[in-house]
Chain A
Amino acid sequence: WINTTFMAFCHIYSLVMAFRACLEEVQLNETLTHLKTESETLKSKLEDERAKLHDVELHQVAEKVEGLGQFVMKTRRTLKGHGNKVLCMDWCKDKRRIVSSSQDGKVIVWDAFTTNKEHAVTMPCTWVMACAYAPSGCAVACGGLDNKCSVYPLSLDKNENLAAKKKSVAMHTNYLSACSFTNSDMQILTSSGDGTCALWDVESGQLLQSFHGHAADVLCLDLAPSETGNTFVSGGCDKKANVWDMRSGQCIQSFETHESDINSVRYYPSGDAFASGSDDATCRLYDLRADREVAIYSKESIIFGVSSVDFSLSGRLLFGGYNDYTINVWDVLKGTRVSILFGHENRVSTLRVSPDGTAFCTGSWDHTLRIWA
């Protein structure tokens, strides 16, 4: 009878364990359901809070502002030398030098006044999708399909082999889509196809902070103007634009109104807003203090994606480079297009206004860069 009792105990024990497992699973499912409900509630609360403050449109507020006249902007310089699509460019703080990178793996530093090439580096990979000039003007950073961001110090000696002094700083697990030095030559911010952004120390190559939150490739980033503090905005294939706190790694605001990939983000000069350009053929303006989209720059006739956006110095004009080879110039306040510029013979892939606002530069799949003023 000891056997039978023992068997009975085992039986009861296994029943109890099975019951406990069931109970745990039910509890887990309940918790999951609770969390899902809470997240839905919070999402609609967020929408309500944002809607409450939507008392007027930006262009309505700007009705009394004087309209802009005709703009005469032309190509003033054409920089020829890349052997394939130009993917990215950046201005030097000296307002005349430019660094550009291309699908053929070349990174070139130009003097935009004279159109002379000052330096050229061949990267070990093709599709160099990102490049940036260091604030000191003494180095450039670049990367792409190699999943890295490397820094090249620029030497005064034109014959020196720049590739020899190359320093690998960032390592991602997918392509590098954008990079930018912070206020000094010492730190670099990167974004990647691996869905993250990261802040790196240039000297040691150490990862200082990583930023997780995008659900797909991050395509672009822009640092807030230095007066505004330590934040940056990123845009990605998940159609979201996220604003991040650089110190904590926290996402502090998130905007999801675009209908396709966000290819470019750029802060408004005051730091209170940012613009975005997307494959959905629109540019949009998001105000950070109102925490919502406040303007859409679009036309029925514009059906090709925007690759790159930047503001003029006062923030009144928004320049957009499009995949239909044109540049559209928008009145930021009134929401209307003030000019359309032709010249490139293929997609405009990158666009930046010069540091003193006297000109802007575009790079294109037609292998050239153009300076407009």
Chain B
Amino acid sequence: MAAPLTVVLIVAVTVRACLFRSSLADLIAERVEVVSPLNAWKRVVEGLALLDLGVSPYSGDVFHETPLIIYLFHFLVDYAEITFMLADVITAVALYYAVQDYNTQVLRQQKFALEAERLPLDSLELIRSPRQMYYIPLKVAMVYLLNPFTVLSCVAKSTCGLNNAIVALFILSTIKKNALLSAIFLALSTYQSIYPVTLCAPAVLYLLQRQYIPVNVRWASFWWFLLQYAFMYLGSLFVIICLSFFLLGSWDYLPSVYGFILSVPDLTPNIGLFWYFFAEMFEHFRLFFLCVFQINVFFYTIPLSIKLKEHPVFLIFMQLAVISIFKSYPTVGDIALYMSFLPVWSHLHRFLRNIFLVSCVLLACSALFPVLWHLWIYSGSANSNFYYAITLLFNVAQILLVSDYFYAFLRREHHLTYGLYLKRKDGSEATLVLK
């Protein structure tokens, strides 16, 4: 297994290295789909330049990275390309081992269910064989590394790649049952971009499940574990935030990083829903809609956790997707992260309803982004509505994709409990509906 992974890694690094050397690199680094004001490399360099001039990078409104990123690139600015390639490799390897571990876990659970004869006879068709699942971890690593979105993001040196690496390490340590590392990486990714805080629900659920602690409010051990995890998470968050304070000696970065993420003052176009909405917003409704849109990102955590409390890894996937669709400054790098999980759910394909349509729309939109951008910004023959229309369609397609996978996942679970070929009362073949 290690050999194919190595080949994939070598191919991925070669592709990136070639692109870094080509003239395309500058072009890609300017693309609004690939970099946002939050993670553009140009702004990192600007922050370092400001620091050199003796000006606090947070005194202006160009730099919005966290102090740890400045500190990191203070030393690594000359090795930025290697750093970003390394981040992608780390993400891919972490996802590879995480999915491998998760798959053995799935197989073991399936074996227990078969032995206990809990599964209905006709749902045996849905049982997954180890042979089918053998290449899934490799596919995950490959989909992440060779996804054009990831490649673009890496070549543009978007710090989104680093955030993805932290999230991947968080997933790995969670699946490897290491609560401390899981809490630390979760705190780091929260520190980087706030939104991953919602991933604490699946992490806690997974760790509880693996330690055979039931999710029950009347169990003391449940509360004890919750308290432990919260302490580790908040403790490491506190340490990181204080460390950032001591690095620059001021709290200026808090409004400049988190205030910037939450209040969306920069309306530079991107692939998300925020920019045009708030550019066209009536001034007195701005705060209201800002709250609605931001709450929307966090809102799905609780109902999804309740519905998917037996399946925390799927919950992680759902959360990542919701964040990357509804966050304030999304880039294609965020999409690449949740898309790399799609091979894990390859067994759901028979229940997907409109995957063909959705993939066509996603592909078409990805191609149309640069075209309509050019028409609007450079040739002046189109206006902002054209680009906006494509972002809308792209987001609808993403929502349909995610909800389709969610539907397929729930339906498979239903079939695993009630059998694959359901009959009506009169014995004719039944159709399943949501009621």
A, B assembled together: no
